[in-house]
Structure 1
Amino acid sequence: MFFPLSKVAYFLITPSNLFIFSALAGLVILAATRLRRTGLALAALGLLGLAVGGLTPVSEIALLPLEERFPPYPEDGPAPAGIIVLGGGIEAGLSEARDQVLGNDAGERPVYLAHLARRFPQARLVFSGGSGFVGGGIAEADIISRHADVLGLPRTRLILENRSRNTQENAAFTAALVQPKPGERWLLITSAWHMPRAIGCFREAGFTVDAFPVDYRTRGWGDAARFHGFASDGLLQLDLAVKEWIGLVVYRLAGYTPDWLPGPEPVASPGSASR
């Protein structure tokens, strides 16, 4: 029940949708009733929201705390026992229809899995991604399985998890599938703005992972003063940020993550007890 409800709720409260609904409702009220103040207020709210959300830096201000939460993985970082990438970068339905790998704006996720597979030739490789559609659909992992050679992924090392529909299931199903040993170092690849919630889910599943953030949407804190030339760009970013912040709250309330905004594990000081 959680999965379909989350899809419906997000459709209704997505900022761009909400602003459009508000403007349309205001126009209908103005045309069909005598509630002029209510109609004008709703129409103005919708139009103002579209303008502010689309053109001002509000979307970057909402994204930056998420993207800056985890630092990039160092170039000289130690070799991991395994590498996990979360689905979300492949348009599974289109890929199946066209018999090609068709990525979306999070397409860096599988690209960096292939990169790290070459960089760490002994690491186990996990792709975790089922269908994100209510009622089914082909899994992203199945698309990866069909087109591994195109992406440069070695089939003999690939472990595919194709049942998960959301981040909590990514973590739980992957942990059950690979059963990591105590003390092993695993890397987790996902979008930088999604990393806090993903790390929280893996921690709650008892799976310790190190962050390898990709798919950045901002250039850094300087973007907090950057205006958009196209409202569609800002609204896309704002929708993404609001979805993620709501996801963090909902996952914390549901017990899927241990913290409201998961961050890096504190570095143990010399002489302190190890976890």
Structure 2
Amino acid sequence: MFFPLSKLIFFVLTPSNFLILLGLLGCLLLFTEFGRGIGRVLTVAGFLGLLVAGLSPLPAWILAPLENRFPAFTEDERPVAGIVVLGGAVEADTSIGRDQITVNEAGEREIALADLARRYPQARLVFSGGSGSMRDDAVSEAEIVSRFADTLGVPRNRLILEQQSRNTRENALFSARMVQPKPDERWLLVTSAWHMPRSVGCFRKAGFDVTAYPVDYRTNWPRDAYRLNSFASTGLGELDIGVKEWIGMIAYRFAGYTDEVMPAP
């Protein structure tokens, strides 16, 4: 129930969707006799909101606290027993249709998988990614990574594939069940920097102690604190990600999936 409900809530509360729906409702009310006043307000609010959200530095202010929560990984002498890379970057349907691996803006996750596999040849490699689709016949991200492992330069026989997870909580639970990590082992967790706090919280809740390896930064803080976006689509996309992640962290805490809203290093 949580999974489909979260999809519906995120669709409505995603800022770009919400502001468009707000403006559309306002436009519709302009054609009614009783609602013209509120219609003008909603129309202006919707389209002004799109302007501010798309071109102002607001998205960077929303994303930066998430991205800066966990520092970039620093190499030291401690051995790495394993690496867990979370899905969310592979476009499974397009990859199948075009017969080549296709990634979205979070493609640094796959780059990190290939790089870390080379740097730590003895480490166990886990790719955790099912399908976020509601369709029963959807292909998992893990399946795509397996099919195109040669393209990534990752030996297929090293990959431990977790294909059932649909969200971050399930990434953590199913990965922990598969690899049964020992308390003294060091495992790196690879995901987008803005997604790292919620991910670490879920893995801790699952009893899986991980070291953050953040990638896929969307902000260059503090430079972006006062920088206007050149394209409204860029700002809206970043704001959508940031707001959805904050909502996700709060929802996960209330659902008991994590012990903290904003886990710390």
Shorter-chain-normalised TM-score: which range? over 0.9
What is the one-letter code of the residue matched to 1:18?
Answer: F
The offset of 1:77, in angstroms, is 5.6
Larger CA deviation: 24-33 vs 84-93: 24-33
Deviations 1:21-67 (A, max 9, x none): 11111111011333221001110110111011001000000000000
* Secondary structure class of the residue paired with 1:212: strand
Name the structure 2 match of 1:106: 106
Asked whether 1:8 is paired with 2:5, we answer no
Judging changes above 3 Å, is the alpha-carbon distance between structure 1 residues 77 and 10 closer, same or farther for their aligned structure 2 residues?
farther
Q: Which runs of 5+ in 2 are unaligned?
A: none
* Secondary structure class of the residue paired with 1:109: helix
Judging changes above 3 Å, is the alpha-carbon distance between structure 1 residues 153 and 44 closer, same or farther for their aligned structure 2 residues?
same
Within 2, Cα distance between the matches of 1:126 and 1:183?
A: 18
Within 2, Cα distance between the matches of 1:17 and 1:256?
A: 27
Name the structure 2 match of 1:216: 217
Name the structure 2 match of 1:272: none
Within 2, Cα distance between the matches of 1:79 and 1:55?
A: 44
Report percent identity of matched pairs.
Answer: 58
Name the structure 1 match of 2:62: 62
What is the one-letter code of the residue matched to 1:213?
Answer: P
Name the structure 2 match of 1:95: 95
Within 2, Cα distance between the matches of 1:156 and 1:256?
A: 32
> What TM-score do the two structures reach when normalised by structure 2?
0.98
* Secondary structure class of the residue paired with 2:247: helix
Asked whether 1:72 is paired with 2:59, we answer no
The offset of 1:90, in angstroms, is 0.5
Name the structure 1 match of 2:84: 84
Asked whether 1:29 is paired with 2:29, we answer yes
* Secondary structure class of the residue paired with 1:184: coil
Superposed, which structure 2 residues align to 1:117-196 within 5 Å? 117-136=117-136, 137-196=138-197
* Secondary structure class of the residue paired with 1:31: coil
Within 2, Cα distance between the matches of 1:216 and 1:240?
A: 12
Within 2, Cα distance between the matches of 1:234 and 1:177?
A: 38
What is the one-letter code of the residue matched to 1:133?
Answer: S
Q: Which runs of 5+ in 1 are unaligned?
A: 265-275
* Secondary structure class of the residue paired with 1:244: helix
Within 2, Cα distance between the matches of 1:188 and 1:231?
A: 32
The offset of 1:222, in angstroms, is 2.2
- After superposing on structure 2, the runs of 4+ consecutive aligned residues of structure 1 that deviate more than 6 Å are none
What RMSD over aligned residues (CA atoms) do the two structures have, in Å? 0.9
Judging changes above 3 Å, is the alpha-carbon distance between structure 1 residues 118 and 219 closer, same or farther for their aligned structure 2 residues?
same
